Amino acid sequence: MGQPQQPDGPPGERTPLRVGMVGYAFMGAAHSQGWRTAGRVFDLPRRPVLAAICGRDEAAVRAAADRHGWDSAETDWRRLIARDDIDLVDICTPGDSHAEIALAALAAGKHVLCEKPLANTVAEAEAMTAAAEAAYARGQLAMVGFNYRRVPATALARTMVEEGRLGTLRHLRVTYLQDWLVDPGFPLTWRLRREHAGSGSLGDLGAHIVDLAQFLAGEPLAGVSALTETFVRERPLPLGTTSGLSAGASAGTGAVTVDDAALFTGRFASGALASFEATRYATGRKNSLRIELNGERGSLAFDLERLNELSYHDGTEPGTHAGFRRILVTEPDHPYLDAWWPPGHGLGYEHTFVHQVRDLVHAVAEGTRPRPSFADGLQVQRVLAAVEESAEKNSVYTPVAG
Ligand SMILES: NC(=O)c1ccc[n+]([C@@H]2O[C@H](COP(=O)([O-])OP(=O)(O)OC[C@H]3O[C@@H](n4cnc5c(N)ncnc54)[C@H](O)[C@@H]3O)[C@@H](O)[C@H]2O)c1
């Protein structure tokens, strides 16, 4: 299998990293922002080049190339992968095509960045992880896009857990709440069909919070006990071009074949207990990802809707003046912040994608394994499968396959 070609630029210039991205809607726009911006903010060892963007509709993909700053456009991802002027393939399509595109890209000698969830099934994720391991031996890297690890506040939280500031962890309490399905007239987009999305709130929102909880705890979940529900089982068919989160509705209807909400408890091998809630029916909650960790020495709390802040309670302080305090995570010593704005000026959602690119470009240049790896993505997929199995068996405690 060929190695990705690494052309030299002009003397004194950093070697380009030529990216080909598949999909140009929500995540396509967010990843474009990351690829465009990372090298202008961070001092990167390689220079990202937005070489080609790929979609199926020629006019739409050309318009997307212009809008997002890509040098060329392709209408078939196989042609994109066959190009020898592409070093890295970035997969921003629904889950039904992740495995096929990632396996082909790795076989063609490319590095791969794949959106979450890694795949629609455990079997697909296993094949992708095996291919990524074989590719690593050839010098190729593969990473999955769990971008919430790259919020400065969550990265700081991980450091604080690692430093032992919370002591032994007892509880993780995690919710990811949205409300875009409250209206029963919202159409049946790909996110509501199992053959495209794999699962519903579980694979979409649940995958994020399982990854984040395991990242913060520093260990995988050992088992789960779950409830899932589909509240609205029939929805209008979409009209015309759809993205996963928006579409017009037609007169006909079709069956929703995924969960609308997933609630589950989980146990870590260390003995810590966790609770999870993922739903698209939390009226008024737009993108509310909250996580609280309680340990024997302290606690941490994070809310994505206030993502520049981390709450910390130091349980070793005297009770007279102890309490949760707000850390404003905008100091140059905080993760990723040395390259951004002066303290207090704040970052947002889009910056997680810039940080994702920063970390991946470093890994490619230095030949280190990027995290979250495909193996991390597979582990999340196994948790999702255990949740579905438990829910089918009236919430019976179900070990996560190892
Ligand atoms: N990390 C995050 O925060 C986050 C947020 C939203 C979505 N996602 C993930 O990103 C992925 C894409 O979601 P989205 O919201 O961007 O969806 P979307 O519907 O907005 O966009 C999907 C894109 O994929 C294209 N596409 C679909 N099948 C294709 C194919 N066979 N060949 C070429 N192009 C194809 C569509 O034309 C469209 O451009 C999903 O896996 C989703 O779970 C991640």
**Domain range 16-147, its CATH number among 1.10.10.10, 3.30.70.20, 3.40.50.720, 3.40.50.300:** 3.40.50.720
Express each pLDDT in 357-397 by its tens digit.
999 999 999 999 999 999 999 999 999 999 999 999 999 99
Question: Atom 40 in ligand 1: which residue has the minimum CA distance?
Answer: 94
The answer to whether the CB of 238 is under 6 A from ligand 1 is no
How many Cα atoms are found within 13 Å in the side-chain-facing hemisphere of 310?
23
| Annotation: CATH topology of 152-306+308-347+372-398 | Dihydrodipicolinate Reductase; domain 2 (3.30.360)
Q: Report pLDDT for 53.
A: 98
Numbers of helices and strands, H then E, in the chain: 11, 17
The answer to whether the CB of 68 is under 6 A from ligand 1 is no
**Ligand 1 binding pocket mutation candidate from 27, 74, 210, 245 (most atoms within 8 A of CB):** 27
Which atom of ligand 1 is the closest one to the Cα of 353?
A: 1
What is the rounded distance in angstroms from the CA atom of residue 165 to the CA atom of residue 185? 48
Domain positions in the chain are 16-147, 152-306+308-347+372-398
Q: How far is the CA of 327 from the centre of ligand 1 (A)?
A: 34
Express each pLDDT in 176-199 by its tens digit.
999 999 999 999 999 999 999 999
Handedness of CA 305, 306, 308, 314 (dihedral sign): negative
The answer to whether the CB of 94 is under 6 A from ligand 1 is yes
What is the rounded distance in angstroms from the CA atom of residue 384 to the CA atom of residue 35? 30
How many Cα atoms are found within 13 Å in the side-chain-facing hemisphere of 189?
17
The answer to whether the CB of 349 is under 6 A from ligand 1 is no
**Ligand 1 binding pocket mutation candidate from 22, 26, 97, 350 (most atoms within 8 A of CB):** 26
**Which residues of the chain are under the pLDDT cut of 50?**
1-2
What is the rounded distance in angstroms from the CA atom of residue 54 to the CA atom of residue 78? 10
Q: Report pLDDT for 13.
A: 83
Model's pTM, two decimal places?
A: 0.96
Q: How far is the CA of 392 from the centre of ligand 1 (A)?
A: 28
**358, 44 contact by CB (below 8 A):** yes
Q: Report pLDDT for 9.
A: 58
CA angle 154, 296, 398 (to 5 degrees): 70
Among candidates 367, 369, 371, 337, which has minimal Cα distance to 356?
Answer: 371
Question: Atom 3 in ligand 1: which residue has the minimum CA distance?
Answer: 147
The answer to whether the CB of 95 is under 6 A from ligand 1 is yes
